[in-house]
Amino acid sequence: DDPLPAQLAGLARIPMADRIHPMLLNAETSGEAETRVEFRLPVADRGAWEIYTETELAGGELKLNALIPAVTDLRGSIRFSRAGVRARELQGRFLDQPLLIDVDRAPAGMTGYGYRLNLNGSATAEALEELLACCALDRFDGEFAWDGSVLVPAMEAGPARPVRVRLETDLVGLGSTLPYPMNKSADEPGPTRLELRWGSEEPPRLAGRLGLGPGLALEFADDGGGWRIRRGRLHFGDSLPRLPEGPGLVVDGRVNRLRPARWAEVLADEANSLDLPWALDLTAGEVYTMGNTLRDQSIRVRPRSDGWLVELKGDFADGRLFWPRAGTGNGQLLADLNRLRLTLRDPEPQPPANPRHLPSGKVMLSDLVIGPMRLGDVRARYEKTAGGLAVNWFRTESAAFSSQGSAAWLVTDDKGAEQLGRLDMVLESSDVAAALEQLGYAPGISGDRGQVTLSVSWDGPPTRGFLARSNGTVGVEVEVGEVAALDPGGGRMLGVLSLARLPRRLALDFREVTEEGLPFDRLAGDFSLREGQAYTCNVGLQGAVAGLALFGRTGLQDRSYDQVAVVSPNLPDLLSLGGVIVGGTGLGATMLLLSQAFREPLQAISANYYRVGGSWDEPVVEQVLREDIDLGAYEDCARYLEEQLTDMPDVDWDALLSQAQEEVLPQQEVLPQQAGDSDSPDIAPGEPAADSGPGAP
């Protein structure tokens, strides 16, 4: 009836002490125990002597080595004889949870091993976090049961034979909020098999497969301050991993999908808890980033003291970037990518990032594709501000167009939930049809020169479709081009000037004007964007064949039309008065056609009116009479027309157009005046009327 350490010392002095494994004799113990010893010495056959011991534990503690936590509150009987050690249902606590232990001979076939301890216990996520203090275990919750065994080498096997600790569990009851593929609900099984080996000649090694996905291989070292991971590998794949050559942790293999932003948060939190170098080499079937999907993407990450070096390889992203570590002063994101193709949307859109948490940076992209838009070479520089990020300057360059401007991504609350975006840009092209094709539109308009100016802001982050929720202005101008005839089987349907899909914004039947496309000298207009609607009062097309003015509303969110088009086939000739263009080719023509709708129409101009309604996919275009147009719905355009005409010279349009008509149209023979026709004035052939001509007001 002695303390447990004294009892172990006593066992070391009995004749069979050489059969007790040093692991037990050298273990750290405490607590009380009672041992009964029975010694038998047959007189006739003293070689058949036997010693039986039975130790009754009453709350003892046993710690085999510094790597494995102690078993506490040990209770039960351990029997020892020349045949070996035997115990049934020893009870204790391990990681502050109940533990059952059976001790028996090692099964046949386990060469070199003498005993096996069968273990049955449970563990909590909280206890594992306290034990390891690393590896993002704070993102686990719950409790799970496990079964295990300890294979103890036979004495004759020598010290080189390692002790083997095996653990099996399905992890049911343990939940993980780590990103995929390490996430798991508590009721989801995750079959796990691990084996820890250690001996006197090699450092402890842990290997196996975690039920959360990867295979595992770790080697531990004791540098005097306790055991720590010296080197290891997590491998996602069918094969079990091998230890890397040098110190550090490697994560490699292939996963079905990956969200780098979520894992970056985990790595940032664990940067100081895992005190060893690490590297990542993964191939992902799908990578979700920036609201988009990159397929079959290779990602290689190497940490530095001030951030991470990232190398990307794949059809969707290829190049290198440096992501600075948070809290490292003025660290900048530096991106140098050969290509970045953001063409597939994220199937599960995530909450937007907080721009206040993002670093400033410089971006160089040789080939940027966003959705259907092929932007070509992109350069940008942006800085952190109190409200978020400010893009001081950006430029894009492609074969068909170039653009430059500035932008901002800001937040107005502490949590980053309320966000604002702004974009100011000028886009220029020397091949409008090619530019439209590169921007993802059907090449319905060609032109020798085109320009788009844009100044908008919107609520929310800078995602695709921001224009549909923007407020601001858009100006469009195209010179010397043609609106192509689309869908020739459907009556020469023409698409004119679409903000989101140019060829489908307006469809008109010009069979009475042209059988092919509609050539023009100038196509221009301005749009005001408000609450998902695009309003215009001055879209105009001026050419040798016809003139067109368009006013009204387009729904950018519901993709609808409410517009009126005024078309005149004889306007171009009438605008030229002896070489003098009234009001400028574009502005004068547009204002003149708008006045046909909002003022008393000029008789010298033949105009057709079209009402455009329906949806973008199924527009409804019908020719109407002027008096059928509800002009009250377009009061903004009426005011706009008055403002523009106020700024123009005071011109008698009827007189000027009458003169132009006389100059352009063939002279007709003047009929002689009939006798008694006193209502007919005396006008000599070719003499202009008193109220017309250059002297008219």
Mean pLDDT of the chain, nearest integer: 82
Residues 266 and 242 in one domain: yes
SS3 label, residue 593: helix
For residue 290, is it within any domain?
yes
Domain count, the chain: 3
pLDDT in tens, 181-202: 999 999 999 999 999 998 767 8
Residues 582 and 489 in one domain: yes
Residues 499 and 603 in one domain: yes
Residues 576 and 631 in one domain: yes
Beta strands in 270-306 (DSSP E): 278-289, 292-304
Higher pLDDT, 427 or 89: 427
Q: For residue 543, which of 633, 480, 449, 618 has the smallest C-alpha distance?
A: 480
Strongest mean pLDDT among 47-61, 80-94, 334-348: 334-348
Q: For residue 468, which of 459, 477, 476 has the smallest C-alpha distance?
A: 459
Residues 312 and 361 in one domain: no
Residues 651 and 548 in one domain: yes
pLDDT at position 495 is: 32
pTM comes to 0.77
When pLDDT is averaged across residues 200-223 and rounded to a whole number, the result is: 88
Residues 579 and 634 in one domain: yes
When pLDDT is averaged across residues 682-695 and rounded to a whole number, the result is: 35
For residue 313, is it within any domain?
yes
When pLDDT is averaged across residues 202-229 and rounded to a whole number, the result is: 87
Of 312, 343, 374, the position where a domain reaches its end is: 343
For residue 97, is it within any domain?
no
For residue 186, is it within any domain?
no
Residues 475 and 578 in one domain: yes
pLDDT at position 690 is: 36
For residue 188, is it within any domain?
no
What is the Cβ-side half-sphere exposure of residue 603, based on CA atoms within 13 angstroms?
4
Answer yes or no: are the C-beta atoms of 567 and 612 closer than 8 Å. Answer: no
pLDDT at position 344 is: 95
Residues 259 and 400 in one domain: no
Give the Cα separation of 162 and 229 in Å (integer). 19
- The secondary element (H helix, E strand) that includes residue 634 is none
Give the Cα separation of 409 and 356 in Å (integer). 9
Higher pLDDT, 235 or 115: 235
pLDDT at position 131 is: 79
pLDDT at position 255 is: 96
Does residue 98 surpass a pLDDT of 60? Answer: yes
Q: For residue 331, which of 321, 320, 319 has the smallest C-alpha distance?
A: 321
Residues 501 and 586 in one domain: yes
Higher pLDDT, 320 or 607: 320
Above pLDDT 70, what percent of the chain? 81
pLDDT at position 177 is: 92
Give the Cα separation of 152 and 163 in Å (integer). 5
Query: 661: pLDDT confidence band, cut at 50, 70 and 90?
Result: low
pLDDT at position 194 is: 95
Q: For residue 444, which of 478, 474, 475 has the smallest C-alpha distance?
A: 478
Residues 606 and 473 in one domain: yes
For residue 596, is it within any domain?
yes
Residues 319 and 368 in one domain: no
Residues 627/632/634/636 CA torsion (nearest 10 deg):
140
Of 343, 372, 399, the position where a domain reaches its end is: 343
Q: Would you state the structure tokens that stand for residue 309, as one six-digit string?
A: 């070096």
pLDDT at position 675 is: 41
Q: Which of 429-443, 649-663, 675-689 has the weakest average pLDDT? A: 675-689
Answer yes or no: are the C-beta atoms of 592 and 580 closer than 8 Å. Answer: no
Whether the ω angle into residue 181 lies within 30 degrees of 0, i.e. cis, is yes
What range does the domain containing 588 cover? 430-458+469-664
Residues 128/132/138/144 CA torsion (nearest 10 deg):
-20
pLDDT at position 175 is: 95
Q: For residue 462, which of 394, 400, 560, 527 has the smallest C-alpha distance?
A: 394
For residue 628, is it within any domain?
yes
Does residue 237 surpass a pLDDT of 60? Answer: yes
For residue 117, is it within any domain?
no
